[in-house]
Chains A and B, each alone.
Chain A
């Protein structure tokens, strides 16, 4: 690995985005769950759910702040680190980028209102109504920014004549073939992760012996939502595989270590790759499954890496990331599914210690899956920054000092990450739910 300006720019971009997407993911999903909890609270006249919404909202502000500042960072870094890319592609993708800031603006305004008007309206439903633009704004910003990324994977909506873009159609660029699966998967997995993270926090408290109705209701709500989003994520994930087979077959082939083009292609789960012989060791081979994943037909032909020019083969380690992401996804689906069954079966106790431990574990795992999936998707399109059009190396800045900036940003994220966790922990420790529950009981 040569640490030239392009490599350093890639590292710094990965660092910022890798940190940002943790907060961005929560930023997309948590408002939906807050809104859901408040709505149930109003509908059933159940103060427990209202308290849930309030407490989640309080913690959410802190994560949103980190999300906003790191989002600003990546927004500026696009131009600072990839000036050549922005000069070229900016003509096409500025529309979704612009729309994204509108969505963000909209969300910021209503989030401010939402947080400071809990007791301001006579009818609680008015306050709940304010959560809707927050949910719409946060989801729409994910949608718009994902179309930009989809465009980088599947550029269209322009003609390239002698290195100059002409005949530009910004809407065609936004609604490219990668957009439906990319947007769907990003939004759905953000909802899923947020639900699971909130479930994990609840389960953690329950393990510590807090078993009141408040926690039970929180667990039921988050796990039920998690179950629905897990199904959604899996279904869209399958569509994403079929998209890859059609439009970015080299990405799929690298992810699956599929070296030779063949029919009845097998899917390899896990395993290690022998660098010299390209043989897979210890992998679990599922016959014909790759053909099913790629084309929905067990006999279909799947393109292998033998058809890809050598300098266009993505790094083969993305296989591990792909398997990690899918594995965690399956685990989350199974976990929430069992919870749904357990809720209906009186014999099984959802507050079983081991079950709660698994839910706690699912929290960090779901965030890890987001990271895996994102790195897989980004590294999988190397060496291209604009698929088949512009190589990453040609897009990077020529300025000196990227290395130093990397160090500075690394320090910044360490500080922000540590403080964010410390502040959140302190916040909920000094004001545990029990205090507020007592107050509810007293008011009754």
Chain B
């Protein structure tokens, strides 16, 4: 059965599918994260937060055929959760990887992360959980890849841009900006207006540029 519904994950917990009870991955997770098992999670293997969940694809799934693809497509169609697919990429299953990547990332638009075994999968899940927790606690500054929102002052860039006009160096750029204020007004200045600030030749150059 497809479970698309949202599951409420208590803060800092992970909800695991009943079928993983007693597995290597569950044993390694226990003690590191608070793991709760629940029945009836459907297609999902682990819920990390209310928004994020994990689908595991084992080496055996990859070798066995297309069943896992149907599972992923069903999940994608039924659920609005952010699905992270963790796939066991071993020497045996390596040959299928690029096909899986094309399906999951390029066609379904989900996240795909390869691991070598269940041990690596559990380590990866622990890291993912810690980022989910940080996101919920709005500690977004902790993520080095999120863009800081404040914009730097535009002045140095404006000055740089004006210096790309032929015949204009730093000094003339400063003079022009002090006189005209913005690039927009500089563009609409007439030759005679420009001549009041810079010489005749340069004024003509700026005007034609």
A, B in one complex: no
Residues of A within 8 A of B (CB): none
Residues of B within 8 A of A (CB): none
